[in-house]
């Protein structure tokens, strides 16, 4: 099966999410403090909002990276949990998912 289509989508998405993270990062750092921004105590209320945005973006980025790794390993179309084939329709909706519908539903409960 052709993964280059999904690889392109994932790379575009990665670019977008990375840009979002560095924008949030810059915003939180204010005066260019060098400490890891996720560990900085927030002084403004706004920082907390930015921080949770940043966290979900980080999570998204790690899912994207994992999906790209799975493409490299030729596992992209296989569920990471049960090994079943993930339907293309699902990957079109969620290109960074590593799980089939069954396993995704199981992990939500």
Residues making contact with Zn ion (CB under 5 A):
79, 81-82, 84, 100, 103
Q: Choose between 23 and 101: whose C-beta lies nearer to Zn ion.
A: 101
Q: Choose between 1 and 82: whose C-beta lies nearer to Zn ion.
A: 82
How many CA atoms are closer than 13 Å to the CA of 21, on its beta-carbon side? Answer: 17
Q: Choose between 6 and 37: whose C-beta lies nearer to Zn ion.
A: 6
Q: Cβ(89)–Cβ(6) under 8 Å? A: no
Least distance in angstroms from the C-beta of 13 to Zn ion: 22
Least distance in angstroms from the C-beta of 32 to Zn ion: 44
Q: Choose between 21 and 103: whose C-beta lies nearer to Zn ion.
A: 103
Q: Collapsing DSSP states into helix, strand and coil, what is residue 39?
A: helix
Least distance in angstroms from the C-beta of 10 to Zn ion: 20
Residue 15 to residue 92: CA distance in whole angstroms:
18
Q: Give how far Cα 105 sits from Cα of 10, 32, 57, 66, 109, Å.
A: 23, 42, 22, 19, 7
Least distance in angstroms from the C-beta of 78 to Zn ion: 9
């Amino acid at each position: 099966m052709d993964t280059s289509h999904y690889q392109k989508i994932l790379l575009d998405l990665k670019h977008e999410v990375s840009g979002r993270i560095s924008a949030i990062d810059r915003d939180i750092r204010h005066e260019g403090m060098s400490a890891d921004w996720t560990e900085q105590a927030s002084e403004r209320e706004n920082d907390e909002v930015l921080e949770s945005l940043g966290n979900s973006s980080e999570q998204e980025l790690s899912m994207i990276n994992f999906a790209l790794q799975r493409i490299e390993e030729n596992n992209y179309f296989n569920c990471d949990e049960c090994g079943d084939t993930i339907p293309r329709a699902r990957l079109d909706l969620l290109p960074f998912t590593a799980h089939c519908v069954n396993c995704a539903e199981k992990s939500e409960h």
